[in-house]
Structure 1
Amino acid sequence: MSRTTSGRTFSTAGGWQDTAERWTITDSWTGADLGTVSVATKQHATAAVDAAAAAMRTGLAPHARARVLAEVSRLIETHAEELAGLITAETGKPITASRAEVARAVITARLSAEEAGRLPGETVPLDAVEAGDGTFAFTMPGPLGIVAAVTPFNFPLNLVLHKVGPALAAGCAVVLKPSEHAPLTAGRLTALFERAGLPAGWLNLVTGPPADIVDAWLADDRVAVVTFTGSSAVGWRLKARSPRKRHVLELGSNTAMVVAADADLDRAVRDATTAALSGSGQACVSLQRVYVERPVASAFQAALARSFAATPCGDPRDERTVVGPLISRDAAERLAAWVAAAQRAGARVAAGGSVEDRLMAPTVLVDVPRDNPLVCEEAFGPVVSVIVVDSVSAAIDEVTAADYGLNTALYTGSLATSLDYARRAEAGTVLVNVAPSFRTDHMPYGGVKGSGQGREGVKYAVAELLQEKLVVLRP
């Protein structure tokens, strides 16, 4: 297990530093010590901004940014198994899912390198009006400024890269606060950037209490952008406290899937299982609600319950494991309480429902009240509620009534139904006969309503971090 960051986990232009207080990070399954990280203060957070500001004053040419990002891509691929093992150790993500995350991170870094070399700009035909006669005009893209990146535990490598890669491609220095549940992976990535030749100050890792660190960045006018992935409550609070900054917010959801009577049920069950249980259901696009037309509801419910019951759970290092431990005992206890409350309100458990320590069995619930938290809020675990509807149209009404709108999926054999769903469903991404957890690292990705604002996906994230300057010349 890598301990690269142990003893040097606060990185600024001054190099890796220790602090007076340290946290010990333990293995998510065995409880063994993995290493320690420095606990930074507000003063350290401000020092990181100082380093970022100094770096941006010096500048870094696009070709240099591209070279570093391409080398980071290569280094991640070289250290793939080590990084996957570290992700699994810190978060409990099953090792096969951790390997998949590392493979995606290779792509994210490579895409960022490519975007560094093709920042957009355009000519503007001012002579389209009389006042513009004799002028030549063009736009010059430039970095918005320092980016404060706050990242979650569930994709501790690739989601960090979705913040850092586009920021560096755009020419923005970064101050990074990773999840306190997974700081070692972020530290290892920071060390790879250092090894790839990224000059000091361009990536500044700060580990410690979110409130102290993020408070300092929100109050600092030198920080131009806050990019955050996490809960809706926290994301909107960050925006309210710093309205003059630009915000890219990838927030929560309670992802819905609709199964029409003419759907391929085998495919729908297979994809629902994958979408609900990958990463133990700890992703903002994890499937949480399934609306099924009445004629096929019984068959779908029974098949999904069998599929969930057959899903391997347990040790995340076991190659067969699909569902590993949740990130904390508190998370498991909260979800168990939600399931118990739903049962008291009339819901029935068709599969799973049990919790042992931090491991929750894949759970299918039916007859869940529409106002229950498992339907209305974000569960963030391996739990799905199956809801019977009389029509796809009725399902669309329920899907769009939610405060969230990230991904949603429809399973049907009808083109007309598909197009109607695409028009009416309120979500950042509408998928047809594709699992609702689907995401590639170059697609525009983001939500509407309570699920956030702005778009990730490398090209689109770069655009969020640029500002255009218009240049007008009259020879």
Structure 2
Amino acid sequence: MLEAMLASGAQATVVRAGAFVDGAWRTAGPQSERIGPYLRRPVSTAPVTGPGHVRDVRRCARAAARSVARLAPAHRAEILERASAAAAGRRDELARLLALELGKPVKDGRGEIDRVADTLAVCAAEARQIGGDTLPVAGWARGVGNTAFTYRAPAGVALAITPFNAPANLLAHKLGASFAAGNTTIVKAPPQAPAATAAVVALLIEAGMPPEAVQLLHGDGRVGAELCAADEVSVISFTGGAATGNAVARAAGAKRLVLELGGNAATIVCEDADIAEAARVCARTGYTNSGQSCVSVQRVYVQRPRFAEFLDHFTEAVAGLTVGDPLDPATDVGSMVDEDAAERVVRWSAEAAASGARVVLGGRRDGATALPTIVADPPDDASVIVHEVFGALVAVLPFDDLDEVVERCNRSRYGLQAGLFTRDLDRIVTAWRDLEVGGLVVNGSSNLRLDHVPFGGVKDSGFGRESPRCMIEDYTVVKTMVLRGTSLWGGRP
């Protein structure tokens, strides 16, 4: 399956992305079609999920949970290490699928596949660390004469629902950590990236992942809701928008959830910062993947004495970005996921201009390609400030002092990650303490993620933390054993 999909991608023919159910690839039946946003023609197809498919997946997952759990952690780790090496070896081919399906520049796609390789390697390392504890039961009178232990056992069946913007790496996080923990996993692919998702699943299977350890379905929110409600599922990891995250929680009921939701990330540039460097970093990270990242730079607050200087440097850097064919290695900004997404950038920048802001660059689109847009000094109630743009638009605003800008940042319903440029240690500690976000990047923009470091937000940005170690904790349960009448610690005098 993997070879066939990569060959189709290389030849720019339509890629057939199968579903993987009960240990076999299925490509027959009615198909959904993905139109490439840059090419504006069909680039991939996937079988439509029917009620019978969900029933089959539930049955198979329930039956497979015990056998997958009995695989030794060392064996799981070896499989993940082979998959990591395979991802690195197929880097260009996998990046091409991302470019075809999503309009993601191939240079960004290569970076995503590099992260897939890293993430799977970290998952392998964490699989080797799964253990437990000997509990100090004899430290309290009622525990004297007994011994107790814990270990982390697989949760059973995990459900991974992935988004379109980084479908390969976020699947590597969810599926890699779930398998490292010893679970069988049901994957619901994003409709916009069926082939990229199927390719990662196929890569893991070819690396030796037992067929019963994973199943893949394609479909819309209806399929996701049905899977979330399934009694067989023990834990759900979802990445996507806040509204859909709320729907996932309602459908799931009393299950463990890890929800990584939206953001409208802020970066603060203080007057003591290297302004030219801050502008360069914000320009590079504000338009990566056309701004379609939950931590993409959306709001930049610059201390007023340096505001005009920053805006000049920033405008020059953004104007120098290459917009065009995502398959061209020189392209910095490709297309967005569809024309509706690009139109949102155009519409919101026009709304801001009508409220007194200045559109310095962009504000236009060509099909699904939104030209990199800069909106200077919009009001705090503008859509580009209040809501998640998730597109090729950055708003730049002045501020006067740190307390004021922290308060303005915290008005957001989101709180995923922020950036801060300053040399002042007191400002750094104050911002880390007072900003209502899950993470702070110092002397960098909000758009930085190290895949082995805990990542997640507060407020409407979700809850739980994503990194292989944190996710393995969510994907496992603590089991306790008490040896009554047998003590490692000695008894009473």
Report the TM-score range of the alignment, normalised by the length of the smaller protein: over 0.9
Which SS does the other structure have where 1:379 is aligned?
coil
1:362 to 356, 372, 380: 372
Paired with 2:295 and 2:23, the residues of 1 have a C-alpha distance of: 39
The answer for the alignment partner of 2:27 in structure 1 is 18
1:114 equivalent in alignment to 2:119: no
1:134 equivalent in alignment to 2:145: yes
State the Cα deviation string for residues 164-199 of structure 1 (Å, max 9, x = none): 000001111111011100010111111112212222
The answer for the alignment partner of 2:7 in structure 1 is 2
TM superposition shift of 1:32: 4.2
CA contact (8 A) 2:239 2:260 kept: yes
CA contact (8 A) 2:17 2:195 kept: no
CA contact (8 A) 2:38 2:369 kept: no
Query: TM-score, normalised on structure 1?
Result: 0.97
- Number of matched residues? 474
Q: Which amino acid letter does the alignment assign opposite residue 36 of structure 2?
A: D
Which SS does the other structure have where 1:157 is aligned?
helix
What is the 5 A alignment of 1:327-346?
327-346=337-356
The answer for the alignment partner of 2:491 in structure 1 is none
Q: Which amino acid letter does the alignment assign opposite residue 228 of structure 2?
A: L
Paired with 1:63 and 1:52, the residues of 2 have a C-alpha distance of: 22
Could you tell me the percent identity over the aligned residues? 34
The answer for the alignment partner of 1:167 in structure 2 is 178
Paired with 2:45 and 2:371, the residues of 1 have a C-alpha distance of: 31
Paired with 1:190 and 1:414, the residues of 2 have a C-alpha distance of: 46
Paired with 2:224 and 2:16, the residues of 1 have a C-alpha distance of: 23
The answer for the alignment partner of 2:476 in structure 1 is 466
CA RMSD of aligned residues (A): 1.5
CA 1:66 to 1:19, structure 2 compared with 1: closer, same or farther past 3 Å? Answer: same
Q: Which amino acid letter does the alignment assign opposite residue 394 of structure 2?
A: V
The answer for the alignment partner of 1:251 in structure 2 is 261
State the Cα deviation string for residues 320-343 of structure 1 (Å, max 9, x = none): 211110100111112211111111
Paired with 1:245 and 1:170, the residues of 2 have a C-alpha distance of: 17
Q: Which amino acid letter does the alignment assign opposite residue 160 of structure 2?
A: A
TM superposition shift of 1:108: 0.6
The answer for the alignment partner of 1:385 in structure 2 is 395
State the Cα deviation string for residues 251-270 of structure 1 (Å, max 9, x = none): 10000011111111011101
Which SS does the other structure have where 1:201 is aligned?
helix
CA contact (8 A) 2:225 2:251 kept: no
What is the 5 A alignment of 1:78-97?
78-97=89-108
Query: TM-score, normalised on structure 2?
Result: 0.93
CA contact (8 A) 2:36 2:100 kept: yes
The answer for the alignment partner of 2:489 in structure 1 is none
1:148 equivalent in alignment to 2:159: yes
Q: Which amino acid letter does the alignment assign opposite residue 41 of structure 1?
A: G
What is the 5 A alignment of 1:294-313?
294-313=304-323
Which SS does the other structure have where 2:332 is aligned?
coil
CA contact (8 A) 2:268 2:300 kept: yes
The answer for the alignment partner of 1:54 in structure 2 is 63
CA contact (8 A) 1:280 1:324 kept: yes
CA contact (8 A) 1:8 1:16 kept: no
Q: Which amino acid letter does the alignment assign opposite residue 429 of structure 1?
A: G
Q: Which amino acid letter does the alignment assign opposite residue 430 of structure 1?
A: L
Which SS does the other structure have where 1:223 is aligned?
coil
1:235 equivalent in alignment to 2:245: yes
Paired with 1:261 and 1:288, the residues of 2 have a C-alpha distance of: 20
Structure 2, unaligned runs of 5 or more? 1-5, 487-493
Paired with 2:95 and 2:27, the residues of 1 have a C-alpha distance of: 26
2:301 to 264, 274, 291: 291
Q: Which amino acid letter does the alignment assign opposite residue 38 of structure 1?
A: P
1:66 equivalent in alignment to 2:66: no
Paired with 1:242 and 1:209, the residues of 2 have a C-alpha distance of: 16
CA contact (8 A) 2:134 2:148 kept: yes
CA contact (8 A) 1:75 1:192 kept: yes
What is the 5 A alignment of 1:309-324?
309-324=319-334
Q: Which amino acid letter does the alignment assign opposite residue 184 of structure 1?
A: A
Deviates more, 1:237-246 or 1:173-182: 237-246
CA contact (8 A) 2:17 2:44 kept: no
Q: Which amino acid letter does the alignment assign opposite residue 21 of structure 1?
A: P
Which SS does the other structure have where 2:119 is aligned?
helix
TM superposition shift of 1:458: 1.0
State the Cα deviation string for residues 55-84 of structure 1 (Å, max 9, x = none): 112233222211221111111112111111
CA contact (8 A) 1:175 1:204 kept: yes
Which SS does the other structure have where 2:238 is aligned?
strand
Paired with 1:293 and 1:219, the residues of 2 have a C-alpha distance of: 48
State the Cα deviation string for residues 396-422 of structure 1 (Å, max 9, x = none): 111111111111011112111111111
CA contact (8 A) 1:42 1:216 kept: no
CA contact (8 A) 1:309 1:352 kept: no
Q: Which amino acid letter does the alignment assign opposite residue 448 of structure 2?
A: F
TM superposition shift of 1:99: 0.5
1:31 equivalent in alignment to 2:23: no
CA contact (8 A) 1:81 1:99 kept: yes
Paired with 2:7 and 2:33, the residues of 1 have a C-alpha distance of: 14
